[in-house]
Amino acid sequence: LMQLSVPLNFIGFVYREIRQGLTDIEQMFELLDVKAEVVDKPGAVDLKIQNGEIEFDNVHFAYDPQRPILKGISFKVPAGKTIAVVGPSGAGKSTISRLLYRFYDVQGGSVKIDGQDVRDVTQTSLRAVIGMVPQDTVLFNDTIAYNIRYGRPSATEAEVEQAAEIAQVGNFIRSLPEGFKTMVGERGLKLSGGEKQRVAIARTILKSPPILMLDEATSALDTGTEQEIQAALDEVAKNRTTLIIAHRLSTVINADEIIVLKDGEIAERGTHAELLEQKGLYERMWNRQREAVQAEAKLKEVRESD
Ligand code: ADP
Ligand code: MG
């Protein structure tokens, strides 16, 4: 038995190492958004970016043919404008972002950038023009600086620090014992959802893409963190075509158009003021969130007076 335990331990060690290696590869794939099922078509050409206009034209999509997720979605994000997609959880909001990045192919209709179908262009050229801040950012097991610089590997140290500043995460990073050299990720310092998201925003600021795709974190953030993230997002969205998936409606008040998605269909659309006037789903969501914010504030008041 003793004789066996050594090799078994050793196998366990090797197994753990391989598993960690695989986790890294999986994370890398997630970061690079490499998906085997979507490949460049023969003779695919590079996307020619002009102004960065996005168009979803009668898009149909299902992960499982039995269960349609998007049922004929049409909207445009004009160059330089901000369009927000809101709606209940499971409505298909994040799916829209995955189709723009061509994680998956549509089953009907098309997704176009500056008039070019995303299926006709190389994935590399498509992904080069889109800055994606996903709902759950996966960080590399490396330093914070590395994770930010990933957006543009040629960036100088000063540029990395400036991006962190704009993303409202500079103070936090400097407060760490090893600053920008602090190891993060699974094997390093664990960052909160809001901190990881700001690192992803800093990365995107460095990348400086013509098109920005944001999927806000669902996890409840405290008001201070929310305001910091909002300031960071406003900064990076300036003068860029921006598609934002919003869970907190307070972040979309200024969007040029808000699309309310429900069960894979556009239930309502318009500006914040127009949607409130419609007194429909958006207005109900707005009131519910406002009550939640007020309740949170009241709770805080009570706690502080104790
Ligand atoms: P939202 O972002 O609005 O909450 P999603 O677009 O993430 O919604 O998902 C829409 C629906 O598709 C949900 O019911 C979800 O469970 C389902 N879904 C999401 N991703 C997958 C997947 N990879 N495979 C199968 N179903 C999925
Ligand atoms: Mg989502």
The pTM assigned to this predicted structure is 0.81
If one residue of 59, 94, 99, 213 were mutated to test the ligand 1 pocket, choosing by the most ligand atoms within 8 A of its CB, it would be 94
Ligand 1 atom with least separation from CA of 64: 25
Task: Report CA(92)–ligand 1 centroid distance (Å).
Answer: 6
- Average pLDDT on 27-46 reads 72
The binding-site residues of ligand 1, defined as CB within 6 angstroms of any ligand atom, are 63-64, 69, 89-95
* For residue 299, pLDDT beyond 50: yes
Determine the pLDDT at residue 27: 53
The tens digit of pLDDT for each residue in 145-161 reads 999 999 999 999 999 99
The DSSP string of 162-197 is HHHHHTT-HHHHHHSTTGGG-BBSTTSBPPPHHHHH
- Write out the two tokens for 149: 């610089």
Report how far ligand 1's centroid is from the alpha carbon of 6 (Å): 45
More confident residue, 122 or 251: 122
Are 197 and 226 in contact by the 8 Å Cβ rule? The answer is: no
Smallest CA separation from ligand 1 atom 27, residue:
63
Least distant ligand from the CA of 104: 1
Mapped onto helix, strand or coil, the DSSP state of residue 209 is coil
The pair of three-digit structure tokens given for residue 119, joined into one six-digit string: 């299926």
pLDDT tens digits, one per residue of 195-222? 888 899 899 999 999 999 988 765 555 6
pLDDT, residue 280, reads 96
241 forms beta bridges with 211
pLDDT recorded at residue 1:
46
Output the residue whose Cα is nearest ligand 1's atom 26. Answer: 63
Across the chain, mean pLDDT equals 86
Show the tokens assigned to 268: 């309502």
Task: Render pLDDT for 214-273 as a digit per residue (tens, 0 to 9).
Answer: 887 655 556 667 777 777 778 788 889 999 998 778 888 889 999 999 999 999 999 999
Q: Whose CA is nearest to atom 11 of ligand 1?
A: 90
pLDDT tens column, 65-87: 999 999 999 999 999 999 999 99
pLDDT of residue 223: 66
Report how far ligand 1's centroid is from the alpha carbon of 93 (Å): 8
Angstrom distance (rounded) from CA 106 to CA 99: 7
Sequence-distant (6+) residues with CB within 8 A of 211 are 52, 54, 113, 129, 130, 131, 240, 241, 242, 243
94 Cα–ligand 2 center, Å = 4
12, burial (CB in 10 Å: exposed 0-12, middle 13-18, buried 19+)? exposed
More confident residue, 193 or 219: 193
What the block records as the tokens of 294 is 């007020």
Alpha-carbon distance 40 to 127, whole Å?
Answer: 12
Distance 215 CA to ligand 2 centre (A): 7
Task: Give the environment of ion ligand 2: residues with CB less than 5 A.
Answer: 93-94
